[in-house]
């Protein structure tokens, strides 16, 4: 009898494991496919390039660039060398061309990203070669020796994203019975301390990003708050499926859409379109611009991160009142009443 009864529990165990295996394979397929799709064939799209030239010459340069790479570059006309240099050093354009009678000059900023700088430089070199004039290229925002490949910003974002995601999700389960003020107070404390810890590690200890301790701490704080808040609020609203939603938005789509080492402007249209509206992409731009471009073009990414933190808070508030968290809390409050009524019925009998 015992030998005949054993197969059923074994089959039940196999059946119970199948959803976990299937879920892991789905996530595996999604991450490998999306990550490779985001990075396997980087192509420039509307990369801004400044030109110090007359309107007619600027139009001619735009046409020449469009012939060699349609839609790759957007030419912006400037009036002087000083304006061109300022535009590059403040992340307004990715390169600037100053044509001259004896040769052309170009300004680039390798700190924005080696891949994009190489793409812009190659396009300008092709123009100069076609015109049969020499081209002198000056890197006005070079990468320092402590961050020679420009990867420190990317790994700062990744290093903040993963533990903040785990913290927000874990808090939704571990502290499920705590009042909302304590849970959100813990998220706020975590975010503030996370910013300081990030800056201490990356700036003071490692010495990789040293241009602005306060700026690095601010971006790190907002990123940690955005990720932890969204993950926590999503789980409070929809329950365990919120874990999948948070992973999909922040890790499966958000991280590859950040652009990584190639920058989002070289990625396929979808990733480029959503990059700066998701926390990883906004944070990566903010870290780079704070460190290498004098805080230029940082308002939008900082507001994006703050918006995600507030959005997560709103999700959590709604979840605590009407979502999965509210339903679980209601069942827990009702269970003692049922137990007491059941006990009275037994004693009456």
pLDDT digits (tens, 9 = 90+) for 127-166: 999 889 999 999 999 999 999 899 999 999 999 999 999 9
What confidence tens digit (pLDDT) does each residue in 262-295 have? 999 999 989 999 999 999 999 999 999 999 999 9
CA 223 vs. chain centroid, Å, equals 9
What confidence tens digit (pLDDT) does each residue in 80-131 have? 999 999 999 999 999 999 998 889 999 999 998 888 899 999 999 999 998 8
Enter the tokens of residue 21. Answer: 């295996």
Q: Residue 256: which of 37, 41, 24 has the closest Cα?
A: 37
pLDDT at 347: 37
- Sign of the alpha-carbon torsion through 114, 120, 126, 132: negative
Task: Give, in order, the Cα–Cα distances in Å from 287 to each of 75, 203, 297.
Answer: 26, 12, 11
Q: What average pLDDT does this structure show over 170-185?
A: 94
pLDDT at 339: 45
Provide CATH 3.40.190 ranges for the chain: 47-142
pLDDT band per the 50, 70, 90 thresholds, residue 341: very low
The order of strands in the sheet holding 47-52 is 73-78, 47-52, 95-98, 104-108, 135-139
pLDDT at 10: 64
Q: Which of 104-113, 143-152, 171-180, 319-328 is predicted least confidently? A: 319-328
pLDDT at 348: 32
pLDDT at 232: 97
Q: What average pLDDT does this structure show over 315-319?
A: 94
pLDDT at 330: 58
11 compared with 172, residue with greater pLDDT? 172
Using an 8 Å Cβ cutoff, are 319 and 330 in contact?
no
Asked if residue 340 has pLDDT above 50, the reply is no
- State residue 268 phi and psi, 5-degree precision: -55, 160
pLDDT at 18: 87
Instruction: Please give the full DSSP string across 262-275, using - where no structure is assigned.
Output: G-GGGS-HHHHHHH
19 compared with 120, residue with greater pLDDT? 120
pLDDT at 17: 83
Asked if residue 346 has pLDDT above 50, the reply is no
Is 175 strand, coil or helix?
coil
Asked if residue 324 has pLDDT above 60, the reply is yes
Using an 8 Å Cβ cutoff, are 67 and 59 in contact?
no
90 contacts: CB under 8 Å, gap ≥ 6:
293, 294, 296, 297
Domain 47-142, CATH: 3.40.190
Q: What whole-number distance in Å separates Cα of residue 234 and Cα of residue 164?
A: 14
Q: What average pLDDT does this structure show over 217-239?
A: 97
Q: What average pLDDT does this structure show over 225-231?
A: 98
Instruction: Please give the full DSSP string across 17-56, using - where no structure is assigned.
Output: HHHHHHHHHHHHHHHHHHHHHHHSS----SEEEEEES-HH
pLDDT at 75: 96
pLDDT band per the 50, 70, 90 thresholds, residue 13: low
Average pLDDT in the chain: 90
pLDDT at 8: 63
């Amino acid at each position: 009898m015992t030998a005949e009864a054993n197969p059923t529990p074994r089959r039940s165990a196999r059946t119970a494991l199948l959803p976990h295996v299937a879920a892991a394979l789905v996530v595996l397929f999604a991450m490998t496919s999306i990550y490779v799709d985001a990075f396997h064939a980087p192509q420039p799209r509307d990369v801004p390039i400044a030109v110090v030239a007359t309107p007619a010459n600027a139009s001619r340069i735009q046409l020449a660039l469009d012939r060699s790479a349609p839609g790759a570059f957007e030419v912006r006309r400037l009036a002087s060398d000083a304006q061109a240099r300022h535009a590059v050093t403040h992340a307004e354009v990715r390169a600037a061309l100053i044509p001259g009678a004896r040769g052309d000059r170009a300004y680039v900023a390798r700190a924005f990203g080696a891949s994009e700088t190489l793409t812009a430089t190659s396009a300008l070199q092709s123009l100069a070669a076609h015109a049969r004039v020499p081209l002198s290229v000056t890197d006005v925002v070079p990468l320092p020796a402590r961050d020679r490949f420009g990867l420190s910003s990317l790994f700062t974002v990744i290093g903040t994203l993963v533990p903040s995601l785990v913290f927000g999700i874990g808090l939704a389960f571990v502290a499920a019975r705590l009042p909302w003020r304590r849970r959100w107070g813990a998220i706020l404390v975590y975010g503030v301390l996370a910013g300081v810890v990030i800056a201490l590690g990356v700036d003071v200890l490692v010495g990789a990003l040293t241009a602005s301790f306060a700026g690095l701490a601010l971006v790190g704080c907002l990123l940690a708050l955005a990720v932890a808040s969204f993950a926590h609020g999503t789980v409070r609203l929809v329950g365990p499926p919120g874990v999948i939603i948070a992973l999909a938005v922040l890790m499966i789509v958000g991280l590859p859409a950040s652009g990584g080492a190639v920058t989002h402007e070289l990625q396929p249209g979808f990733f480029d379109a959503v990059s700066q509206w998701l926390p990883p992409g906004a944070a990566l731009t903010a870290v780079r611009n704070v460190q290498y471009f004098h805080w230029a073009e940082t308002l939008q990414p900082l507001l994006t991160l703050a918006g995600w933190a507030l959005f997560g808070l709103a999700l959590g508030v709604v979840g605590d009142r009407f979502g999965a968290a509210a339903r679980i809390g209601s069942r827990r409050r009702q269970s003692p009443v049922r137990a007491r009524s059941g006990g009275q019925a037994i004693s009456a009998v």
